[in-house]
Amino acid sequence: MSTSLLYHAFGIRGYQYVSSRYEFGEVKFRIIKRKQDLVCPLCGSRKVIRKGTVDRGFNSVPIGSKPVKIVLAVQRVLCMACDSLRQIKLGFADERRSYTRQFERYALELSQCMTIKDVAEHLNVSWDIIKDIQKRYLNRRFSRPKLKRLTNIAIDEISTGKGHRYLTIVLDLRTGAVVFVGDGKGADALKPFWRRLKASGADIKAVAIDMSPAYIRAVTDNLPKATIVFDRFHIIKLFNEKLADLRRQLYHELSDPSEKSLLKGTRWLLLKNPDNLDDSRAEPQRLKKALEINKPLAAAYYLKEELRQLHIQDSKDKARSLLIDWIWEAGRSGIRILQKFARTLAIHMEGILAYYDFSISTGPLEGINNKIKTMKRQAYGFRDQEFFKLKIMGLHMTRYALIG
């Protein structure tokens, strides 16, 4: 085997080929380091004395379906310049690793389109080796993202499993990259992020959050000059929850079985966009009948449709006028659930209308959340929480799809 092939095929430079053999299903190449090339790993001096060797095998890129192992008698040297006794630096593999750097690059390329288990089986190594390769790469790339250029960010929590386990995520809305993943939810989860953000000197203009008091307080305390933008998707989601509660309450108050039957099962019709109602299943007709027999439900439904127009107005002034009218209508509806929600919107009016100054929302975080769910299905869960967080921070560079 030529020196050129050692370098171009296996990424090994400065070594000589000795022999090859096929053993236990593996192709093994033995290489050596020339005496004149030995240097001290600490000071780089060539004044060294050889002090024995240790045979080591390193996984390298396969040839076809055959695993390849590089076998080297790793030399230990005594340096006459700095008086150190160390093993030489290999150059083609990192310390305390059983694979070459070329193998590592190949495994990372495969990881872009295969699961950890699939890559491990293809390369005939353990699951933990591929996970270790991915973790080291993600740690180098994403463990400490630069925060200096942050201007607009979104903050939200995501559920990571049963038992109310949450992570708090901060997203850079300019690049779509996750810049922080905190344990739990609420203000405490963001404390490490605020420390790093302050040290970075970033000038945050706007923050998209939901109407959580904990997030409002955290942003106000740490970014007093930033504009808080309450997420429009959370506003509609919150109203839909109130609408579902009202439908449930009205259902229990009805005494006529026929009216109860008509109202039962209309929850998704109430929450659906009117443009998406299915005519073939008579959904518009059924919704119309349910609203005709129940005036409070009809009032709430039409208020929902008006609220959906809030973020598509021509100007902030028009949006303000619409919101004030909406709050007044909800207040005079006599429906306690709607009146309480109207008071909430009145309190947070400036944050809601700030959308017209900064058109941002936490919507992109929903896409991140969907990717996380897909990622968890592909890996059957993550026991290593640090690895899981690093995977989340690299999601903007990844395309996930369920196959099979």
Residue 231 has pLDDT above 60, yes or no: yes
- DSSP, res 362: S
Tell me the pLDDT band of 158, cut-offs 50, 70 and 90. Answer: confident
The Cα-based distances of 332 to 64, 325, 326, 337, 356 in angstroms read 75, 11, 10, 12, 27
Task: Dump the DSSP string for 49-118.
Answer: EEEEEEEEEEEEEEETTEEEEEEEEEEEEEETTT--EEEPP-SSS-TT-SB-HHHHHHHHHHHTTS-HHH
- The tokens 């995977």 sit on which residue? 391
Give first-to-last CA distance, the chain, whole Å.
Answer: 41
Q: Residue 204 burial (CB < 10 Å; 0-12/13-18/19+)?
A: middle
Q: Mean pLDDT, the chain, as a whole number? A: 85
From 1-10, 75-84, 94-103, 361-370, the region with the lowest mean pLDDT: 1-10
Q: Which residue has the higher pLDDT, 188 or 376?
A: 188
The whole-number average pLDDT for the span 247-274 is 64
Mention every residue, 6+ apart, whose C-beta is less than 8 A from residue 375.
391, 395, 398, 400
CA of 328: how far to CAs of 159, 246, 300, 305, in Å?
36, 19, 13, 15
Rounded to two decimals, the pTM is: 0.77
Residues 6+ apart with CB under 8 A from 295: none
Q: Give the pLDDT of residue 288.
A: 62
Q: Give me the residue label for tokens 């080796």.
A: 129
Strands of 178-183's sheet in order across: 178-183, 165-172, 152-161, 206-209, 227-230
Contact predicate 303/341, CB 8 Å = no
User: 4 with 11: CB under 8 angstroms?
Assistant: no
Percent of the chain with pLDDT over 70: 85
Determine how β-strand 85-87 pairs with β-strand 152-161. Answer: unpaired
145, 393 Cβ separation under 8 angstroms:
yes
